Structures are given as C-alpha cells and as structure tokens.
Amino acid sequence: MNERKNMRLKVARMEAGLSQAQLAELVGATRQTIGLIEAGRYNPSLKLCIGICKTLGKTLDDLFWDEENARRTT
C-alpha cells in the first residue's frame, strides 16, 4: 500500500459497528495498527489482511486490492 487512505476498510469497519480498537482486538492487532492501515501508512501482512477480511465478512479484493496500481504494473 502506498500513502493512499484505505477508505474501504474504514467504511467496512464502521458498517460492522466496530471501533478501531474493537477490530484490532478481534484480529490480534493494536488500535494504532488499524489506524495506520486505514491511513495508508502501514502495509499489513497477508495474515492480518485475511483476519480483517474474515472478521468484516469481506474479501481481500473488497478491502485491499488497488485496481489503479494494478493496471499500472501490468
């Protein structure tokens, strides 16, 4: 991830009715980590991405696939 905000994660978290701290506890991370991912300032591990997706009922594509950057690299 680059410096682009991950609004899809933030929206999904809020739709699930979870705070950053609650999501962090459910996936075994810190609130700060979730905040940094949402701010686009932290590139989470695949394991953490999968945990977030499972917790929020979303796919990796839903939350983490960056279509614009993918088009530039292909």
Q: What is the pLDDT along the chain (74 residues), one digit of tens a residue?
A: 445 789 999 999 999 999 999 999 999 999 999 999 999 999 999 999 999 999 999 999 999 987 665 555 55
Q: Which residue has 């700060």 as its token pair? A: 32
For residue 61, what are the CA distances in angstroms to 9, 13, 25?
11, 15, 23
Name residues whose C-beta falls within 8 Å of residue 42's C-beta, 6 or more positions apart in sequence: 1, 33, 36
Alpha helices in 1-74 (DSSP H): 7-15, 20-27, 31-38, 46-56, 60-64, 67-73
| pLDDT of res. 68 | 63
pLDDT score recorded for residue 69: 54
